[in-house]
Amino acid sequence: LDAVTDPATGDVVCRSVLDGSDPNCVPWNIFTTGAVTQEQTDYLVLPLFARGTTDQTVVSGYVTADLGEYGVKLPAASNGVQVVLGYEDREENLDFNPDNGFREGEGAGQGGATGPVSGGYDVGEFFFEASIPVVEGMAFVEELKFDLAYRNSDYSTGITTDTYGLRAGWAINSDVKLRASLQRAVRAANIQELFLPQGFNLFDMSADPCGGPVDANGETAAGRTFAECELSGVTAAQFGNIPNSPAEQYNFLQGGNPNLDAEKADTVSFGVIWTPEFVNGLSLSLDYYDIEIEQGINSLNPEFILNECLDGNQAQCNKVNRGVAGDLWVGSDVNASGHIIALQDNLAIERVTGFDFVADYTMSLGDMGNLSFNNVLGLITTWDQQELAGAPVVDCKGNWGATCGFPTPDLQNNFRTTWDTPWDVTASAMWRYISEVKDLNANNVDLGAVSYLDMAAVWELSEEFSARMGINNVLDRAPPIAGGSAGAANQGNGNVFPGMYDALGRYWFIGLSLNL
């Protein structure tokens, strides 16, 4: 873009061509329609290439037994205890090889070098399950049954985990059933989390809390004093002169951690199922769940690290490295450029509670087939996150952005109506609802409530041949726009959140199936 007139020829050329710093440079004219040439594009475009492979090998075996055949059953039960005993060995490997353009960080907007990743691990797992009928066929206890499960996992990375669960089901009668469960779940670190090489990446921050000029009170625009900023490495000469990134993007050092422990989650749930005999075809269920995750594998939000440092957390100050001008964004040299260290670690604490309600009802239309209704409602009552122990608890229920990241609507509902016609055609319509989500970022871009309508049909042409077609998002509702620099660039895709919302509008599909 730094184009000048060549005094010898009168042509427009890059200044770097005249001074010899880049003789291959071609000026890029964006101010005239059709003026961008292939030569200009070729100079700007850098093809990047990376090749990655993953492989998984699983060898497992198990035995099952109905111990009732050998007389192993409880006195009040007519069926015996059933067990499963087994062992599994699993090996996983990943190899990722980017080209030099990736490795040297030459891609536009790359944020830093993309290094190769190569690693793997294996795990041996012993597991056991049992189903134990306790009471059957008694008044107010048509069936009472317990299910037990246990799994021990020994990883080559040096960690050993135990997973277990206890589930109970109590059928009071044919109308009412109660259920409950208690479970310990674990998730071991994946290969990227273990072996990702350290390198720069970018994070969004509207401004450095210590950046920009200071006011008459000696405070920055964020209200930070020199004493606070000094904790992060700012000198007296730098304070008041630290440049903010015009792109609102700053450097952080990412990377894996081969010493990661497994995440642990404890889940408790209670539920009731009601299938009233006096309403044929109706089934209602309501479940409550409480999930708490500890030692969550995550990298701390770099902005959180910086603010914790400014608030006096010395452990986090050790992760803040200021550049020559006191900045956190100029340059891409890990040894010289300002940045914040945010490697993978066992840090996060998270608790989620809520209710799931499911209603099913099927009615006969006589000669016109059957009409079915299904409604699934999810209500989140708690979604608390902590970046690490002792950090403030952030309420993510119904919010997005900041430490919450991806949107967490507190209410979602899917209602489907299905018509089984007598003409071998099954047609359905579904309403999807997502409640409003508030923005925790400084931009305050709230995501409004959204409703979608989907329609689909399947035509069974014969026993072997069927056709299906449908339209998702029939009314072509646009997704809520979150904004590029408000956090959606990292947590979503540009300025929207695919997966939560239909990013591409109306979607048609058609398919044919042949079953031989």
208-233 burial, b for 16+ CB within 10 Å, e for fewer? bbbbbebeeeeebebebebebbbbbb
Q: Which among 54, 46, 50, 42 is positioned nearest to 103, based on CA atoms?
A: 50
Q: Which two tokens stand for residue 422?
A: 């007598």
Tens of pLDDT, residue by residue, the chain (516 residues): 899 999 999 999 999 999 999 999 999 888 888 888 899 988 988 889 999 999 999 999 999 999 999 999 999 999 999 999 999 999 999 999 999 999 888 887 777 788 899 999 999 999 999 999 999 999 999 999 999 999 999 999 999 999 999 999 999 999 999 999 999 999 999 999 999 888 888 888 889 999 999 999 999 999 999 999 999 999 999 999 999 999 889 999 999 999 999 999 999 999 999 999 999 999 999 999 999 999 999 888 899 899 999 999 999 999 999 999 999 999 878 888 999 999 999 988 999 999 999 999 999 999 999 999 999 999 999 999 988 888 889 999 999 987 788 899 999 999 999 999 999 999 999 999 999 999 988 778 899 999 999 999 999 999 899 999 999 999 999 999 887 544 565 566 778 898 899 988 999 999 999 988
pLDDT of residue 489: 57
427 contacts: CB under 8 Å, gap ≥ 6: 418, 419, 421, 455, 456, 457
pLDDT of residue 457: 97
**Within 13 Å, how many C-alpha atoms sit on residue 219's CB side?**
6
pTM of the model: 0.80
Q: Which among 485, 505, 3, 512 is positioned nearest to 247, based on CA atoms?
A: 485
Tell me, rounded to whole angstroms, the distance of Cα 504 from its chain centroid.
20
Look at the alpha carbons of 22, 28, 29, 31 in this order and tell me if their dihedral is positive or negative: negative
- The CA distance from 57 to 39, in Å, is 48
- The CA distance from 420 to 368, in Å, is 8
Taking the alpha carbons at both ends of the chain, their separation in whole angstroms is: 62
DSSP letter for each residue of 236-279: TTTTT-PPPPTTSEEEEEE---TT---EEEEEEEEEEEE--TTS
Look at the alpha carbons of 192, 195, 201, 205 in this order and tell me if their dihedral is positive or negative: positive
Strands 282-299, 320-321: pairing kind: unpaired
Task: Tell me how long the chain is.
Answer: 516
pLDDT of residue 488: 62
SS3 226: helix
pLDDT of residue 486: 47
Assess contact for 449 and 438: CB atoms under 8 A. Answer: no
Name the H helices within 256-407. Answer: 302-310, 314-317
- The CA distance from 231 to 227, in Å, is 7
Strands 344-364, 320-321: pairing kind: unpaired
Residue 41 belongs to what H/E stretch?
helix 38-44
